Amino acid sequence: MKYDVSVSFRGEDTRDNFTSHLYLALSRKNIQTFIDDQLNRGYEISESLVKAIKASAISVIIFSEDYASSRWCLDELAEILECKKLSFVLPFFYRVDPSDVRNQTGSFGDFSKLEERFEQNSEKPQTWRKGLREAAGLSGFHYRSIRPESELINEVVNHILKRLLEELFRPRDNKSQLVGVESRVEEIESLLSVESKDVYALGIWGIGGIGKTTIARATFDKISRYFEGSCFLENDENAIPGIDLNFRRLSRMKVLIVFDDVTCFSQLESIIGSLDWLMPVSRIIITTRNKQMEALEYHHALERFSRHAFKQNHPDVGYEELSSKAMKYAQGVPLALKVLGCFLYEREKEVWESAINKLQRILHPSILEVLKISYDGLDNKEKNIFLDVACFFQGEDVNLVMKFLNASGFYPKLGRSVLVDKSLIVKSNNNKITMHDLLQELGRDIVSKESNNPGNCSLFSSFNGENKCKGSYLQDPRFTEVKYLHWHGYPLKSLPSNISAKKLVFLEMPNSSIEQLWDGMKRSLCFLKYLIAALNNFGM
């Protein structure tokens, strides 16, 4: 849903009073609200309005005295009720009697002027009448001018907030339900003491993949509406410097800030040391790997595993014991449950038994070794794609990554779909290719072990961005196979002769000055700030 709420109203009746006050109150609670405030309307409701209605979790209908005299409003009402299965409809009777709306009496009874326009389409008025009857039968609010509007608006906003929070945890399908998260969120809410007037900072500790970010995000989504300002910083270390200045700006606001995946003590010190700048009743949530956190309880772990292994809440008949054995090695870690479940989905029992036997042969297998079961089930091209993403392309643009993988002969469209199905990589909303940091750790661990055996190395990387590599490293025979070369501030005037122009796919050398790429080819690249160039761009 793009919007939390859309509002249908008769502009001449309520635009400059009740509707504007309601819209302001919703906005103050960070409720994303669509309001069609166009003064000039045609005979047909606009396509953008229809899209907004379909993209709203809640539709508020404000029935006022002249609502039924507007063909636009009546058509909008019909569209809202058509979408009722997708959204919640909340009627509000502003200085009108609900029985007049239901029975089409009073100002809601005379359609004669509108009906004259529909001599050839007599069904239209019938649709309107049916819509008024249906909407008036829904539970809603009635304003009778016997108490301040502000009180009723506050009541309506709180009702909408409660409904939205219920929607947040309502299971939509087997894949999207956050198994075991709601109880954790409630626990964190209690610890945060939202009603207290002190500044609270709460830490969520745990190993990678345990679900820290998921729980922090769910908590943020649930309670952020109660704050004047809110921000979720996802493992963004660059956001920490200068934090004092940011906190000063927030000193007059009730805010909620989440710092996800804080990795070092100096960051924590900077955050905690700045709490005095915040207004009382502000809240800080910090996630980090510095301490252990409980894994999912068994019944929650079984449900999460089953959602991925069987696409339902429980194991298939005959797979109960195998599921229990497989789960034991996942140790209740949500990421491991997900990856292992995806790997075993629609596999024969023999494959399940083989995977479990492989884990049994490892004394006290780590989470990485459990995740590696899924990696081992990939073919060679899929493995190479996984390793390339883990070592080089985490968070990079999907199109760039696909171009590189295609040039490398890895058939990336098929390979990427396999990795996505197995929950090993994800395409984010901003068109970036990402993977969980625990899976990235697995990929780098695999490459590190392969590097100890040069004859079995799928990737070779010595560039750390700080010019600590010695020039002699460039003479390593494996450099003849390099496809991706990144070196921040490359110090030499040319590239080594043993790097093959035919093998190299991408060249990335920010903040470097290279007067020539290969002997006999001179080209000034001193303008480079950020460049990834394919070989054919150099005429090769």
Angle between helices 334-344 and 349-360 (to 10 degrees): 140
Identify the CA nearest to 370 among candidates 406, 341, 411. 341
DSSP for 452-464 reads TSGGG-S------
Q: Which two tokens stand for residue 364?
A: 């006290």
Identify the CA nearest to 184 among candidates 46, 47, 32, 304. 304
Q: Which two tokens stand for residue 375?
A: 């990696």
What is the SS3 assignment for 456-497? HCCCCCCCCCCCCCCHHHHHCHHHHHCCEEECCCCCCCCCCC
Q: Which residues contact 496 (CB under 8 A, 6 or more apart)?
A: 474, 475, 479
Question: Whole-angstrom Cα distance, residue 157 to residue 27?
Answer: 10
Question: Whole-angstrom Cα distance, residue 252 to residue 537?
Answer: 53
Question: Whole-angstrom Cα distance, residue 314 to residue 273?
Answer: 47
Q: Please, what sign has the CA dihedral across residues 499, 502, 504, 510?
A: positive
For the question of residue 12 being annotated catalytic, the response is no
Residue matched to tokens 């809640």: 58
Q: Which amino acid type is present at position 321?
A: E
Max Cα-Cα span within the chain: 92
Give CA separation, 185 vs 164, 169, 219, 230, 465, in Å.
16, 11, 5, 17, 40
* In contact, 386 and 420? CB cutoff 8 Å: no
The SS3 assignment for 171 reads coil
Question: Whole-angstrom Cα distance, residue 315 to residue 311?
Answer: 9
Residue 298: Cβ-neighbour burial (10 angstroms; 0-12, 13-18, 19+): exposed
* In contact, 184 and 213? CB cutoff 8 Å: no
Q: Which residues contact 531 (CB under 8 A, 6 or more apart)?
A: 507, 508, 509, 510, 525
Marked catalytic residue, from 44, 47, 76, 189? 76
Beta-sheet pairing, 229-234 with 200-205: unpaired
Question: Whole-angstrom Cα distance, residue 393 to residue 410?
Answer: 15
Positions marked active-site = 76
